[in-house]
Copies of this chain bind each other. A is one copy, B any other.
Amino acid sequence: MTSLPSHAEVQRLHAYWQASNYLCAGMLYLRDNALLRQPLAPAHIKRRILGHWGTCPGQTFTLTHLNRLIREHDLDLMYVCGPGHGAAAVLAHAYLDGHYSERYPECSRDEAGMTRLFQRFSAPGGIGSHCSPHVPGSIHEGGELGYSLAHAFGAAFDNPALIVAAMVGDGEAETGPLAASWQSARFLNPARDGAVLPILHLNGYKIANPSLLARISHAELRALFEGHGYRPCFVEGDDPPAMHRKMARALEQCLAEIRAIQARARGGERTPIRWPMIVLRTPKGWTGPRQIDGHAVENSWRSHQIPLPDPAGRPQDLRALEAWMRGYRPEAWFDADGALAAELRALAPVGDRRISANPHANGGLLRRALDLPSPEAYSQPVRAPAAADASPTQLLGNYLRDVMRANADRFRLFGPDETASNRLAAVFEASGKTWMARLLDSDADGGHLAADGRVMEVLSEHLLQGWLEGYTLTGRHGLLATYEAFAHVIDSMFNQHAKWLDKARRQGAWRAPVPSLNLLLTSVVWRQDHNGFSHQDPGFVDVAANKRPEVVRIYLPPDANCLLSVAAHCLRSVGYANVIVADKQRHPVYLDASEAARHCQAGASAWDWAGTHVSHEPDVVLACAGDVPTGEALAAVALLSSRFGGLKIRFVNVVDLFALAPPTVHAHGLTDEAFDALFTRDKPVIFNFHGYPALIHRLCYQRRNHVNFHVHGYREQGDVNTPFELAVLNGIDRYSLAIDVLARVPRLRHCGAAVREQWLARREQQVAQARAEGIDSDDIRDGRWPTYEARRD
């Protein structure tokens, strides 16, 4: 173990901390006189003072000490800033270590650059008060709170040399996702993965309340983290010299424990693991103003944002601000040019060892493309459209198995206890499920549990999504497969990640694009008949479609071969959030591998084999998106053409949902000419959609023929039904579609009424029959269910 800091080193550490705190205060308040070379005057104060002081000193303190640890041990260490609005602290350190100025040369290491940094902070046209893609060294959006620890673990997986220091705010710690994230340590394999060092920052207060964990007993706090499997190391106090020594000692000790755990595991021992963590208890707004107008500020929620509200307007605030900032002795730490003194510069690591410059935190730099097999080899042979069935996810499982084999250092599959349920179990031939907790003999019987497993299963969509985000943001690849309805659990995480990707894209070249986030929504609404209403919700794609079109892609492959094509494409892509919706049940396969590839490439195309009289201008377009709606639309063609032999039907399938959007809105949008060529300019379009109908209207409403679009989709009608009854309740069944065609094609209207009644009666009868037989989803293709024939004109 390295020696603890000498008195002189403590003084240097303290100086560095003072310099960083000075910068934080400057970012909040100053637009001029950055180094206080003149007496502070109202004209130096920002017109609008925005930002958050409370969390800063604890973070700058920690970063100062992490720098020491990196230097002493030449560590590959990155930092995740969990507390809300903590950017000032991270920016201060990035500026002090020089990396910020490398990325943003206008903020040079002199008084002019410092002034620009102060001016841009939390100012219109400037940068935010929480971490964002703008901040070098950050992979964690600091806006919403709750995901820091999950991101940290995601970053640590498969990075054996990396240590991720994760600062967790005591406010954030109250959120559900963070509360669940402590479990992550049970999924970290010290033999293969890096380490995460959680630092719970108990500064005692949130926006306007005490934090709960700061107000429980010491014994309870210790018990809580021991219960989570950690060894908590307490660093508590407010006396800087003593605290510097305690923090240095704690970090050394934690590092030694991490090294020991890793050494044992890497030497082949499998012993119980108790990862170290730090509980850092310091006053909120530590070293800031003690009081204002007789009210406590330091160590109070009043220091959360702006401790002195109006220095430009209130002389006493101005005086207090000046005294506070001069107390950090800027003149001692910054030279005549405003650059950090050489003695202090030496306290920061250099090059890529700087926390702000750690390459993992700019994961695109480290991205290695996946070695991807061709999806063709995994496809279902297609003698004729719909002649054979396949479970789309089952074929995908075979593909992912080999993706996993070929990329054993950089691909993981994530799922909430549903990998097998979602029929992806073939992956277990390549790798088990990560499991570091206790094993029983019985687990050997089909449990697929393994310390080196690459399938991540835990019953928390939050945790899985957070891990996956952390994994991809550090340059690796993955896919999260989850029940469609419960994808809404991570709506907000998806939103934040899409926003991150969009802002990262706009940062300029220095942020290298990271692998896409891939979500597979399966166990879909139309096959949740037995689970009932609570499991029926196809609205995640609506949430996704609200994000920037530059970063979002939504695919609804109609069959297994198309799913393979889409999945391979998504796994190759960078910088996107890809959402794929595909069922796990068996469905007909329509397109062979090369047809599927062409169809997916086109995004939407007419299936001539499924239409009627396709060499003529159609009477009606039957369009569809999604596997179940496609099957029903095909059955509607069979119904219609059996009755109206002369009816000219064009059959269009949409696999890439944004093909419907104008090309001005989304890069995948069909040109107006291509759209009109598919959907006509004036013929009725009966569109059978997987989700809520509004999404199709929204994508098409600027198209010429939109007024003739009639969209069928989920209408929030469901219960414990047969699959067919569920389709009927929501009007996506073959009969509803065919009847809609009758109503929309002028020359069928005269004969429609009688046929309509017949079809409704037949439908009624079939609903009753299926219900009586308790028919299963799979029975649809087992001949126990009215089927349709693939047609060729």
Digitize A687-731: 1 where CB-to-B-CB distance is under 8 Å, 0 elsewhere.
000001010011001000001000000001001111001000000
Say yes or no: A229 contacts B206, CB within 8 Å: no
Q: Given the complex, which residues of B lie within 8 Å of A272, measured CB to CB?
A: 217
Residues A561-605 near B (CB distance < 8 A):
none
**Quick check: which of A15-23, A36-44, A63-71, A437-445 contacts chain B, the rest being far away?**
A437-445
A83 to chain B, nearest CB (A): 11
Digitize A294-336: 1 where CB-to-B-CB distance is under 8 Å, 0 elsewhere.
0110011100000000000000000000000000000000000
A503 within 8 A of B: yes
Q: Given the complex, which residues of B lie within 8 Å of A130, measured CB to CB?
A: 531-532, 534
A171 within 8 A of B: yes
A537 to chain B, nearest CB (A): 6
Q: What would 17 A/B residue contacts be, using CB atoms closer than 8 Å?
A: A46-B774, A48-B774, A125-B721, A128-B720, A143-B534, A144-B486, A144-B534, A174-B463, A175-B462, A183-B212, A208-B421, A210-B435, A224-B226, A224-B227, A296-B445, A489-B492, A542-B546
Max chain B Cβ within 10 angstroms of own Cβ: one of A128, A488, A535: A488
Say yes or no: A534 contacts B141, CB within 8 Å: yes
Those 4 A-B pairs whose CB atoms lie nearest each other, nearest first: A224-B227, A143-B534, A176-B176, A488-B492
Q: Given the complex, which residues of B lie within 8 Å of A300, measured CB to CB?
A: 442, 445
Say yes or no: B694 contacts A531, CB within 8 Å: no
Digitize A448-466: 1 where CB-to-B-CB distance is under 8 Å, 0 elsewhere.
0100000001111111000
Digitize A43-77: 1 where CB-to-B-CB distance is under 8 Å, 0 elsewhere.
00011101000000000000000000000000000
Q: Given the complex, which residues of B lie within 8 Å of A674, measured CB to CB?
A: none
**Quick check: which of A253-261, A412-420, A748-756 contacts chain B, the rest being far away?**
A412-420
Cα–Cα, bound, A435→B209 (Å): 10
Specify the chain B residue showing the minimal Cβ separation from A225: B227
Q: Given the complex, which residues of B lie within 8 Å of A720, measured CB to CB?
A: 122-128
A770 within 8 A of B: yes
A771 within 8 A of B: yes
A533 within 8 A of B: yes
Say yes or no: B48 contacts A532, CB within 8 Å: no
Max chain B Cβ within 10 angstroms of own Cβ: one of A146, A433, A534: A534
Specify the chain B residue showing the minimal Cβ separation from A462: B176
A296 to chain B, nearest CB (A): 6
A215 within 8 A of B: yes
Say yes or no: A459 contacts B546, CB within 8 Å: no
Residues of chain A touching chain B, judged by Cβ–Cβ distance below 8 Å, are 46-48, 50, 122-130, 132, 141-146, 171-172, 174-183, 186, 206-212, 215-217, 219-229, 272, 295-296, 299-301, 417-421, 433, 435, 437-440, 442-443, 445-447, 449, 457-463, 485-486, 488-489, 491-492, 495-496, 499, 502-503, 529-535, 537, 539, 542-543, 546-548, 692, 694, 697-698, 701, 707, 716, 719-722, 725, 770-771, 773-776
A189 to chain B, nearest CB (A): 15
Specify the chain B residue showing the minimal Cβ separation from A709: B701
Specify the chain B residue showing the minimal Cβ separation from A175: B460
Specify the chain B residue showing the minimal Cβ separation from A534: B143
Q: Given the complex, which residues of B lie within 8 Å of A437, measured CB to CB?
A: 210, 212, 215-216
Cα–Cα, bound, A506→B704 (Å): 41
Q: Given the complex, which residues of B lie within 8 Å of A296, measured CB to CB?
A: 442, 445
A212-B458, A224-B223 known; A143 and B535 CB under 8 Å?
A: yes
Cα–Cα, bound, A172→B442 (Å): 23
Say yes or no: A463 contacts B176, CB within 8 Å: yes
Specify the chain B residue showing the minimal Cβ separation from A718: B499
Cα–Cα, bound, A533→B501 (Å): 12
Say yes or no: B495 contacts A447, CB within 8 Å: no
Say yes or no: A533 contacts B176, CB within 8 Å: no
Say yes or no: B776 contacts A145, CB within 8 Å: no
Q: Given the complex, which residues of B lie within 8 Å of A533, measured CB to CB?
A: 128, 132, 499, 502-503
Say yes or no: A222 contacts B212, CB within 8 Å: no
Say yes or no: B212 contacts A186, CB within 8 Å: yes
A666 to chain B, nearest CB (A): 12
Say yes or no: A692 contacts B176, CB within 8 Å: no
Say yes or no: A698 contacts B694, CB within 8 Å: yes
A142 to chain B, nearest CB (A): 8
Say yes or no: B488 contacts A543, CB within 8 Å: yes
Cα–Cα, bound, A475→B182 (Å): 35
Beyond A175-B460, A223-B223, 17 extra complex contacts between A and B, CB < 8 Å? A48-B776, A124-B722, A130-B534, A174-B180, A208-B421, A209-B417, A210-B435, A210-B447, A215-B439, A216-B227, A224-B224, A296-B445, A488-B492, A537-B546, A547-B716, A548-B716, A707-B707
Q: Pick the contact of A175 from B141, B180, B219, B443 — CB < 8 Å? A: B180
Q: Given the complex, which residues of B lie within 8 Å of A486, measured CB to CB?
A: 144, 492
Say yes or no: B216 contacts A229, CB within 8 Å: yes
Say yes or no: A721 contacts B124, CB within 8 Å: yes
Say yes or no: B539 contacts A543, CB within 8 Å: yes
Cα–Cα, bound, A48→B716 (Å): 25
Q: Given the complex, which residues of B lie within 8 Å of A47, measured CB to CB?
A: 773-775
Say yes or no: B209 contacts A220, CB within 8 Å: no
A347 to chain B, nearest CB (A): 31
Max chain B Cβ within 10 angstroms of own Cβ: one of A174, A209, A435, A463: A209
A769 to chain B, nearest CB (A): 11
Q: Given the complex, which residues of B lie within 8 Å of A701, measured CB to CB?
A: 697, 701
Cα–Cα, bound, A47→B771 (Å): 11
Q: Given the complex, which residues of B lie within 8 Å of A219, measured CB to CB?
A: 226
A489-B492, A776-B48 known; A124 and B529 CB under 8 Å?
A: yes
A176-B175, A207-B418 known; A128 and B546 CB under 8 Å?
A: no
A179-B180, A692-B546 known; A129 and B531 CB under 8 Å?
A: yes
A421-B207, A459-B206 known; A220 and B229 CB under 8 Å?
A: yes
Q: Given the complex, which residues of B lie within 8 Å of A532, measured CB to CB?
A: 128, 130, 132, 143
Max chain B Cβ within 10 angstroms of own Cβ: one of A420, A437, A492, A701: A492
Q: Pick the contact of A50 from B209, B220, B530 — CB < 8 Å? A: B530
Specify the chain B residue showing the minimal Cβ separation from A125: B771
Q: Given the complex, which residues of B lie within 8 Å of A698, measured CB to CB?
A: 694, 697-698
A146 to chain B, nearest CB (A): 8
